[in-house]
Amino acid sequence: MTVVTRFAPSPTGLLHLGTARVALFNWLYARHHGGKFLLRLEDTDRKRSTEEAVSAIIDGLAWLGLDWDGEIVRQSERMERHAEIARRLLKEGKAYRCYCTPEELAEMREAARERGSPVLYDGRWRDRDPSEAPVGVSSTIRIKSPLAGETVIKDRVQGTVTVANRQLDDMVLSRSDGTATYMLSAVVDDHDMRVTHVIRGDDHLNNAARQAILFQALGWTVPEFAHVPLIHGADGTKLSKRHGAVGVETYRDEGYLPEAIRNYLARLGWSRGDEELFTTEQAVEWFDLDRVGRGAARFDLDKLRSVNAHHIQQARDSRLVEAIRGPLAERRGRALKDRDLERLTAAMPELKPRAKSIPELVEGALFVVRDRPIEIDEKAAELLDADAKSLLRDLAGVLETLGDWNPSAIETAIRGYVAENGIRLGAVAQPLRASLTGRTTSPGIFDVLAILGKGESLGRIGDAGEG
């Protein structure tokens, strides 16, 4: 059997982290088993579905690297197929027309509430002849659900879930305007797309029994279900904007790497021993539904930042240079030159261990692309007093004699100067850092000198040592 999973969002908003995790689990499961991962847009709610939301979902999945197989299925383009199945069930006597008015349904709901019983349709049109239909009332089509017995769902995450059929009413398959409900359209599309595993949020668990009944009525194989717990905030409440429940494009714009988001979301509710940090290839190799927990996962922004920092450190230097060149050019007000890119590439091994996001990487790399005379911030300027400037002029003379310009040779020269003059290394390193970067923090000073090169370093030291 070829495993086929599907991600079926309603395009009514952004692709949030919780929804993205459902997509990830479906993608990982399909890729782990060498199967197919399909994308279906459940866009039959024309009032709420928007093309903007469609684009957000597609762009979000593409950025996350969750590639789908085949063409995107739009549920709105399959409405005639859904209606065909409703008519088939009607013809086979497995469904019936219901002529209840909105007022009757409201009375039914109110009576159930007064009794303190579940709000269920009472089946009043189940066995009536359509000839008794009131004039001017359009009918819905309802399934004839079993009146006795149980429906059992063997859920891959939640375990065995048993529902007494008397707790399930005759759900509507087709509305009075002829359009199919979610229950019918989802079942028909899952069958036609040959979906073998329905992996979705546990807020859909109540739908599983109803959909299983519909699959069985149609004589179709019921897919395996796996209902994944939702994500909560760190305080244990439902994930919301205050916890970080924003679209994935926000995390992209804030400088998170897609592989970091994949790593973090995979670990939310799924585990493999004590493994916290892993590649996507490892996640594909390890992932299975048996390791998905039943409890709600908790979102932790600090943990996500830590995971992102790890993946920044693991990323190729050339990729990170490409990621920051645009923001750096914008900050500098000019296009980056070849020498800027060469220096950034050389600096990246020292810059990326200090950053947890792309904006932090940009901030740390600013000194590399500054034009002379560089801007020196207030704290750094305080280090450049008259004594420091004199020291810098003296040190520049020592560095100018260096033949080899690399961190080791530079360190040897500076430590020799410090020892010869009986001063602390910090007394040299601090004003030197201020003159070279314009700040009080940076990668190691010997590395900074090597990254900038001899000419640029001596030029910046000379600028700072004037006056």
- Which residue do the tokens 């007022």 mark? 103
Beta strands in 92-238 (DSSP E): 95-98, 140-143, 150-155, 159-164, 172-174, 197-201, 224-228, 231-232
**What region does 8 belong to: left with phi over 0, alpha with psi -120 to 50, or beta?**
beta
Which residue out of 91, 144, 238, 241 is catalytically annotated? 241
Cis bond upstream, residue 118 (ω within 30): no
Q: Within 10 Å of residue 446's Cβ, how many Cβ atoms? A: 20
Question: Which letter, b or e, does each residue of 207-239 get, where b requires 16 or more Cβ atoms within 10 Å of its Cβ?
Answer: bbbbbbbbbebbeeebbbbbbbbbbbbeeeeeb
One-letter amino acid identity for 5? Answer: T
Structure tokens at 177: 């305007």
Taking alpha carbons only, the member of 326, 459, 317, 330 closest to residue 399 is: 459
Q: Within 10 Å of residue 140's Cβ, how many Cβ atoms? A: 24
241 is catalytic: yes
Are residues 356 and 306 in contact, defined by beta-carbon separation less than 8 angstroms?
Answer: yes
How far is Cα 185 from Cα 38, in angstroms, rounded to an integer? 16
What Cα–Cα distance (Å) separates residue 53 from each residue in 13, 27, 137, 262? 5, 21, 35, 21
- Which residue do the tokens 């010869």 mark? 420
- Which residue do the tokens 């940090």 mark? 277
The vertex-47 CA angle with 192 and 214, nearest 5°, equals: 30
How far is Cα 375 from Cα 358, in angstroms, rounded to an integer? 22
Q: Which residues contact 9 (CB under 8 A, 6 or more apart)?
A: 15, 19, 23, 41, 42, 57
How far is Cα 196 from Cα 422, in angstroms, rounded to an integer? 76
Known catalytic residues? Answer: 241
